Structure 1
Amino acid sequence: MKKVSQISFYTGSREELLPGFTSKFPYISSCSDITKHPGHFCPWHWHPAMELFYLKQGSLEYNTPGSRILLAEGCGGLINSNVPHMTRPGPDFASSTQLLHLFDPSFISGVHGSLIDEKYVTPLTIASQIEIIPLYPDHPEHKQVLSAIRDSFLISENTPGYELKLRSALSDIWFQIFELALPLMQTKDRFDKRNKRLRLMMVYIHEHYAEKISVKDIAGTAFASERECFRLFHDCLHMSPAEYIKNYRLQAACDMLANTREHITFISQSCGFGSSSYMGKIFRESMGCTPNEYRTKLRG
């Protein structure tokens, strides 16, 4: 299991890059403490892989375009394929240990179009009204599946038959969650068009954050009005387009500070801040330190 304190993305997207994820074995597991990520949160992102998680310690706030859910120690859940989401610590802001399984739906279904795929996998993955399925230990119908999720992280890579045992465990968990999700699958799909538009707007920002960006430009990439653009960002991401641009530039600057030796002036221009003084102002407001102090902390 890989320990994660920062996530990486495909160029020009906010789709998460999953190191070690291959077609031969489309699965990885990780352990994450959000308080150790840059800015103490995991930024908005998405991935085709399903995200099955268990909160071992602390509390987390999970945000999707349609919901904001606070989860305490012992909770878990499933994030559906390609759903934008972000996480931040709960109100106590204590250290939080989150265990994650990330796997392609084919890890459960096998060949696309198989009977298992048609009956048990695709109906859930295409249900865009189901963004997140939270699981709570005080709900009797959730208790058994949470126990199975927790135990699945104990399957060691060194165990004979590891791959088969892991797939068997995740298949059992999948079916339990599938049954819990059946009533939700019958509800009207309200989010598909909205989420696709939002992802188009986010990708435009990710591709052009180093440039001057207008709301008109962002809206145009999804064939929406400026009013609709403001509404989508406010309703789904709980921030304005300008705030999202600023946060994205901040994350990009954090990545460059951590992984390059470029001068602060170069980083500020490369990330769209324009001047090092303005980037310093944003860092002090958001991170509580200067860019140089942030770099020094990372390098010990």
Structure 2
Amino acid sequence: MKNIYSIEFHTGSKEELLPGFASDFPYIASRVELDKFMGRFVPWHWHKTVELFYMESGELEYCTPKGKMVFPAGSGGMVNSNVLHMSSPQGESEKNIQLLHMFDPSFIAGQQGSRIEQKYVTPVITASQVEIIGLYPDNPVQAKVLDTIRESFHLFENDLGYEIKLRETLSHIWVQLFAMSRHMLEEKGDYDKTNNKIKLMLVYIHEHYAEKISIAEIAAAAFSSQRECFRIFHDCLHMTPVEYIINYRLKMACHMLAKTQETITFISHACGLGSSSYFGKVFREYMDCTPIEYRRKWQDNDIKRQK
């Protein structure tokens, strides 16, 4: 199980890049130290993989276009395939640790078109009304599932039959999640065009953040009007397109400050933030420190982790 301090994304999109994810075994396990993430949050993103998690310590808030859920230590849940989401630690806990199973639905569904896929997997991963399933220890039924999830992280890769045991355990958990979600699956879930449109708009921003971007261009990327663009950003991300652009540019600037030795002037222009003076002003407003202070903090953290 890898220790994770940041996430990477496929070029030109916000779909998460999963290092070590193999076609013959589409699964990875991670121990995510969220209190050590740059900016102390995981930005808006999505992935085809299912995200099954357990909160070992701290408290985490998940946001999706349809709302928010808070997960304290001892709770957990499942984020469905292709659901747009972000998460951030709550409070100032020194340890905010999340254990993660990330797996392609085919890992438990087996062969494409199989009975298992049609009966148990596809109905869940295609249900727009099922974004996140929360599991909390004060519910006896959910507590049993949480126990299984927690214990599943004690399987070791070098053990005989590890791959089969892991798939068996995840399949057992899936059956229980399927049973819990049946009432949601019975609700009418219309095809969500808005979800696809916001993703197209985000992809456009991620591809062109270094350039001047107009609202008209963002809207056109999803075949929408400017008015609809504003509405979709408000409804899905609870911010304006301009606010998202600034946030994304600052996130890219944070990455360059922490991972490169490029000058502040170079980074400000490379991230579409104009002059170094404007960059410094905006950066301080959003991050509560200067770019230099941020660079020093995160590069020092990298050195400590390498020791």
Normalised to the residue count of structure 1, the TM-score between the two structures is 0.97
What is the rounded CA distance, in whole Å, between the counterparts of 1:222 and 1:251 in structure 2? 23
What SS does the aligned partner of 2:20 have?
coil
Structure 1: gaps spanning 5 or more residues:
none
Give the ranges of 4+ consecutive aligned residues of structure 1 lying more than 4 Å apart after TM superposition.
91-94
Match of 1:213 in 2: 213
What is the rounded CA distance, in whole Å, between the counterparts of 1:26 and 1:294 in structure 2? 36
Write out aligned runs for 1:48-197 (5 A): 48-91=48-91, 95-190=95-190, 192-197=192-197
Q: Deviation at 1:35? A: 2.0
| One-letter code aligned to 2:112 | H
What is the rounded CA distance, in whole Å, between the counterparts of 1:14 and 1:162 in structure 2? 32
Write out aligned runs for 1:210-249 (5 A): 210-249=210-249
What is the rounded CA distance, in whole Å, between the counterparts of 1:193 and 1:94 in structure 2? 40
Aligned residues: 300
- Contact 1:129–1:191 (Cα < 8 Å) also in 2: no
Q: Deviation at 1:27? A: 0.5
Q: Deviation at 1:273? A: 0.3
Q: Deviation at 1:250? A: 1.0
What is the rounded CA distance, in whole Å, between the counterparts of 1:74 and 1:173 in structure 2? 16
1:113-156 CA-to-partner distances (Å, cap 9, x unmatched) read: 11111111111111122111111111222111111111111111
What SS does the aligned partner of 2:82 have?
coil
Match of 2:31 in 1: 31
| One-letter code aligned to 1:204 | Y
- Contact 1:34–1:96 (Cα < 8 Å) also in 2: yes
Q: Deviation at 1:276? A: 1.3
- Contact 1:39–1:286 (Cα < 8 Å) also in 2: no
| One-letter code aligned to 2:23 | S
What SS does the aligned partner of 1:299 have?
helix
- Contact 2:259–2:299 (Cα < 8 Å) also in 1: no
Are 1:291 and 2:291 matched, yes or no? yes
Q: Deviation at 1:190? A: 4.1
What is the rounded CA distance, in whole Å, between the counterparts of 1:188 and 1:203 in structure 2? 29
Structure 2: gaps spanning 5 or more residues:
301-307
Aligned identity (percent) is: 58
Match of 2:303 in 1: none
Match of 1:3 in 2: 3
What is the rounded CA distance, in whole Å, between the counterparts of 2:128 and 2:48 in structure 1? 13
What is the rounded CA distance, in whole Å, between the counterparts of 1:54 and 1:11 in structure 2? 29
RMSD: 1.3
- Contact 1:129–1:192 (Cα < 8 Å) also in 2: no
1:41-85 CA-to-partner distances (Å, cap 9, x unmatched) read: 010011110000111111111001111111111111111111111
